[in-house]
Structure 1
Amino acid sequence: MAIDFPDNFPNIEQMLGILQKTIEKSWKIEIDIDDIYSWLNNFTGQFCDAEDEKRIALWILCNYTYYNPDDINHLCKILYKNFLHDVIVKNNLYEEDSIEKELKNVCFSSIGSASESGGLLLYHFRQQANISIDRFFYPTSIDSTSENIVVFIDDATLSGGTALRTFFKNVENIPYKSIYYLTIIASKEAVEKLSEKGINVIYCTLVDERNKCFSDASMVFYRFPELKDLVKNIIKNYGEIIEHEMPLGYKDGEYCFGFYYNTPNNSLPIFWSSNNWKPIFARKEKLQNAKQLHFAADRYI
C-alpha cells in the first residue's frame, strides 16, 4: 500500500538536507547520514510501501527536539535563576546577607537514582549555579530541619509519578521549610499533581497535547492532518513489535524529545528501542547494583 502524500509534503532528499543542517547547527551530535540510513532500514515495508514508511519516519525525526550539553547548561542556569527569584520574593529577602543566609539552608538532590542520569544532571546544575558540593545530597540522605529548603532537580516530569514517589519516600515525614521541584520539561498534569502536595514547581518548558505526536492538537501534523491517523497506525504497529507494553512510549507519551545523555521512555520507541531495532537515540537502561549507583553519582556531582 502506498501513501497518498500531499503535494507539499517534503520528499526524502529534502528532509535529509534539513536533518544535516539540524545536526550541524542545532543538535551538534555525532550522527551522520549513514546513521540515519541505518535507522531508516528498520522500516521494511511491513505496513505500507517501504519508501513511504521511511519518508514518514524522517518527517517525525525532523520534528524531534534534541538537548545537547550546551542546551542543558543554559536551561540549568535558567532554572537556578528562577528558583532564586522565587525564594527571594516569597521570603521577602531584600538584603544580600539575608539571601546568602537563606541559601545556606538549601538542600539539593536529584529525582530518582544516579542510574537515571540524576548525577549527571546535577553536575550541570551545580556548575551553572556555582554551588558548593556540600549542598548536594542523595535523596535518601537529606538531613533536613524546619529551616531547610529542599530542592529536587530533574530533566522531565510528564506524569508526576516519579517525583511524587520520591517525595513520599524521602521527605514527606521530615521537617522542611519549603520544597521545590526544578525540571527542564513538565506537563500541566504533573505540575498540578505536585502543586497539590505543596511542592513548588519551576520549569523551563511546559508541554501539552500539542507536543504529542498524534494528538488532535499535534504540531507535528498541523499542516498535514490527513496523514496523522495513518502514520499513527504505522508507528504504533512497529512500536508493538519492539516495545509491546508501550508502543507509543510510556503511558502513550507520543513525545519526540531526548537529552544527550539519555532518551525518556515517554518518547516514541522508534527513536530509542534496541529490541531487534537500530535506535537513532539509544536509551540507557538503569544500573542494577549499589556499587554502580554510587560510582555513577560520585563521578558527576
Structure 2
Amino acid sequence: MSYTFEYDKKYFSKIEHLLPRLKYSIFPSKIIKWLKNFEYNEIDHILTLMLTFEFITYNELLMRFDDLLGSLMKNIPTNEGIIFIPYGKIGKSSTLITYPLTHNLKFKRRKNAIVEFDYEKIKVGKYKHVVFIDDFVGSGQSFCKEFSKDDTKKWIYNNNFKSITLLAPITMFEAKKYLESRFPKLTIKSEFRSKILCENDSPLKLLGNIQQIKDIILKYEKSFRYLPHGYSNSESFVSFSYGSPNNTLPIIWVDNDNWKSLFPRFEESKISEAREIKKEFAFFIGIYKKLGLNILENDGTDYTYKTRNSKSQNFKYSNKEHHSLIALLFLRKNHKMEDILICQLLGLTSQELEEIYKKAIKQKFFSKSRDLTIEGFNLIDSIVKNIRKENFRSETKERMLLKNILNLPKQFKGKT
C-alpha cells in the first residue's frame, strides 16, 4: 500500500515546521516516505495530527526524571529510605530507565535510596517508601499484573510502607483512573496525557477535524497487528528515542511490507533504519569536504578510468551506492590508512566496512587480498581531475581577500 504523494511546494514549509516538533530526530526524506502510506487528500489531516506528537529524546527523559524526582523527594524526610523498583521483565523499557535514574544528581545525593529488581531479597529496615518506575504507562495493565502478584502484595503490606508510588515521565489518563480505582493507596507521579483522538480532551480539537483523522486511521487498520488506536485502545501519541510504545497509534511505528514506519518499535526495524541512515550521502558530507573530495555536484557523473589491460571503463557515480566506496579508495590511495582508522573516521562498523570491500573487490578496485588495483588508482585519479576542473571557483585564502579594484561597466542603460 503506497500512494504517490509528491513532495511539492505546498508541503515544503509544513514538513520543515514539523522538524522541531520531532527534535530534528529524522530527515525530511523519512517523513516523505512515511507520508506515502496515505492518499494525497489525507496528507493535510495527518500533518495536523503530527503537530500534537511528542518525541522524547534521551536528554529530555533525564530532564523529566529530574523534575519528578524533585517533586517526589521533597515530601520524603531525608532520614527515610526509598526503594526504587523497575517492574516488569528484564529488558523492557522499565529496566532501561534505571541508568537515567541512578545517574540523576537528586538520586545520588540521597544516600538511603536504592534500586532493586529482586525486591523480595531486600532487608527493608530503614526503607519506608517504595517507588515503582517506568518510562511510560499506557493502559496500566503491566503495573496491575505486577502489583497483583501474591508475593508482591504480601511484601508490600507486610512491610507497612509509608508511601507506595508509581513514577513515570508520561502516564495516560485512562491508566491513571484504572490504577487508582484498583489501588487506592497508590500515588502516581507523572505527566498525564489524554487520548489523542478523544473528542473532549484532545489538543486536536483546537487544530483539526478529529473525526476525519479517526476515519483515516481506521481506513488502514488492516495494515496493523494491533488495533488502529494502539494497544488497549490507548490512543497515545508519544515515542522515545529508543522506540515507540505499542500504546501509541500504530501509524507511527508499524513497519512491514504494507506500511513504512516513522518511529519504529521493533529492533529489526530500528537496526535496518540505522543502516539506511548511514548509507545516506549526508552522513559523509563533512568528511568528504575536509578531504577535498567534494563530489556533491557530480551525482550521476561518468568517470573514465583505465584497466590493467589499458582498456577504458566508465564508472557512474551514484550518491546512494558509491559514496563510502569512493571514500575508502581515496583514504587507501592518498593516505594509506589502516582499516581500524577508516572505521573511526567514517563512523563505520567492521561489518559495514567488510560490505564496502566486497563491492570494491567485485568491481575490481581492490584485489581479494584488499590491495588497491590499477583500476582503483585510476578511478580516483579520474575523479580528482574532474573535481579540480569543477572547482575553479573554490574558496581559497587569496580569493577571499578584498581587492582594491574598482570595476566600472562600459555601458549603462544602453549608453556608453
- Distance in structure 2 (CA, Å) of the matches to 1:214 and 1:14: 28
Cα distance change on mapping 1:18 and 1:109 into 2, 3 Å: same
246, 253, 266: which one aligns with 2:234:
253
SS in 2 for 1:86: coil
280, 291, 301: which one aligns with 2:262:
280
Question: Where does 1:153-232 land on structure 2 (aligned, <5 Å)?
Answer: 153-169=133-149, 171-174=152-155, 175-176=158-159, 177=161, 178-196=163-181, 197=183, 198-203=185-190, 205-208=191-194, 211-224=195-208, 227-232=209-214
113, 124, 139: which one aligns with 1:145:
124
Paired residues, what number? Answer: 248
Query: Contact 1:213/1:256 (CA < 8 Å) preserved in 2?
Result: no
Return the offset for 1:172.
Answer: 0.7
Return the offset for 1:249.
Answer: 0.7
Query: Contact 1:156/1:184 (CA < 8 Å) preserved in 2?
Result: yes
Give the structure 1 partner of residue 391 of structure 2: none
Give the structure 2 partner of residue 121 of structure 1: 97
Cα distance change on mapping 1:284 and 1:154 into 2, 3 Å: same
SS in 2 for 1:202: strand
Cα distance change on mapping 1:21 and 1:200 into 2, 3 Å: closer
37, 40, 51: which one aligns with 1:51:
40
Query: Contact 2:68/2:167 (CA < 8 Å) preserved in 1?
Result: yes
SS in 2 for 1:87: coil
- Distance in structure 2 (CA, Å) of the matches to 1:192 and 1:183: 15
19, 34, 38: which one aligns with 1:39:
34
Deviations 1:242-297 (A, max 9, x none): 225411111222221111112111111000011322111111369xxxxxxxxxxx
Structure 1 segments unaligned to the other structure (5+ residues) = 1-9, 44-49, 89-98, 287-301
Return the offset for 1:152.
Answer: 0.8
Counterpart amino acid of residue 152 in structure 1: F
Cα distance change on mapping 1:114 and 1:216 into 2, 3 Å: same
Deviations 1:159-204 (A, max 9, x none): 222112111225211133132211111234433443452122211x
- Distance in structure 2 (CA, Å) of the matches to 1:229 and 1:119: 37
SS in 2 for 1:113: coil
Give the structure 1 partner of residue 114 of structure 2: 135
Q: Give the fraction of aligned pairs with identical amino acids, expressed as a percent.
A: 23
Cα distance change on mapping 1:68 and 1:36 into 2, 3 Å: same
Query: Contact 1:214/1:229 (CA < 8 Å) preserved in 2?
Result: no
- Distance in structure 2 (CA, Å) of the matches to 1:150 and 1:158: 21
Structure 2 segments unaligned to the other structure (5+ residues) = 1-8, 269-416
- Distance in structure 2 (CA, Å) of the matches to 1:216 and 1:65: 19
Return the offset for 1:142.
Answer: 5.0
Give the structure 2 partner of residue 19 of structure 1: 18
- Distance in structure 2 (CA, Å) of the matches to 1:188 and 1:41: 32
More displaced, 251-260 or 124-133? 124-133
Cα distance change on mapping 1:206 and 1:150 into 2, 3 Å: same
Cα distance change on mapping 1:156 and 1:142 into 2, 3 Å: farther
Deviations 1:71-93 (A, max 9, x none): 101111111111112323xxxxx
Counterpart amino acid of residue 22 in structure 1: R
Query: Contact 1:110/1:153 (CA < 8 Å) preserved in 2?
Result: yes
Cα distance change on mapping 1:84 and 1:114 into 2, 3 Å: same
1:75 aligns with 2:64: yes
- Distance in structure 2 (CA, Å) of the matches to 1:124 and 1:76: 8
- Distance in structure 1 (CA, Å) of the matches to 2:228 and 2:193: 20
Higher Cα Rg: structure 1 or 2?
2
SS in 2 for 1:107: strand
- Distance in structure 2 (CA, Å) of the matches to 1:133 and 1:281: 38
Query: Contact 1:187/1:206 (CA < 8 Å) preserved in 2?
Result: yes
TM-score calculated relative to the size of structure 1: 0.73
Counterpart amino acid of residue 136 in structure 1: V
Counterpart amino acid of residue 281 in structure 1: F
Give the structure 2 partner of residue 94 of structure 1: none
SS in 1 for 2:75: helix
Query: Contact 2:57/2:241 (CA < 8 Å) preserved in 1?
Result: yes
Deviations 1:28-85 (A, max 9, x none): 42x1011111111222xxxxxx212233222222321111111101111111111112
TM-score calculated relative to the size of structure 2: 0.54
- Distance in structure 2 (CA, Å) of the matches to 1:285 and 1:134: 33
Q: Any runs of at least 4 consecutive aligned residues in structure 1 with deviations exceeding 4 A, and if so which?
A: 139-142
SS in 1 for 2:85: strand
Query: Contact 1:15/1:59 (CA < 8 Å) preserved in 2?
Result: no
Query: Contact 2:49/2:213 (CA < 8 Å) preserved in 1?
Result: no
SS in 2 for 1:115: coil
Return the offset for 1:109.
Answer: 1.5
Counterpart amino acid of residue 62 in structure 2: N
